[in-house]
Amino acid sequence: MIFKKILSYLTFRKQEGSSSNLNLRMMHGMNRISILMFAIALCVILVRFVFK
């Protein structure tokens, strides 16, 4: 259940009961960008650690 919500959050699917407030949508967009950057950085760290 929690993975389904995370997946829908990251794939820009609209969730039930969500409002279309512009500030809230911008905040969610910035959160998606930060999650993506964190995942990329984590992959880079793991690759550097494994292939060192």
Task: Give 19-52 pLDDT, tens digit per residue.
Answer: 568 888 899 889 989 999 999 999 999 999 999 8
Q: How many domains does the chain have?
A: 1
The answer for residues whose C-beta is within 8 angstroms of residue 10's C-beta and 6 or more apart is 32, 35
Instruction: Tell me what the mean pLDDT of segment 4-15 comes to.
Output: 70
42 is in which domain, residue-wise? Answer: 2-11+22-50
Within-domain flag for 45: yes
Residue whose C-alpha is closest to residue 22's, from 33, 13, 30 = 30
Q: What is the pLDDT of residue 6?
A: 73
Within-domain flag for 6: yes
Q: What is the pLDDT of residue 43?
A: 95
Q: What is the pLDDT of residue 1?
A: 76
10 vs 38, more confident: 38
3-state DSSP call for residue 3? helix
Q: What is the pLDDT of residue 18?
A: 57
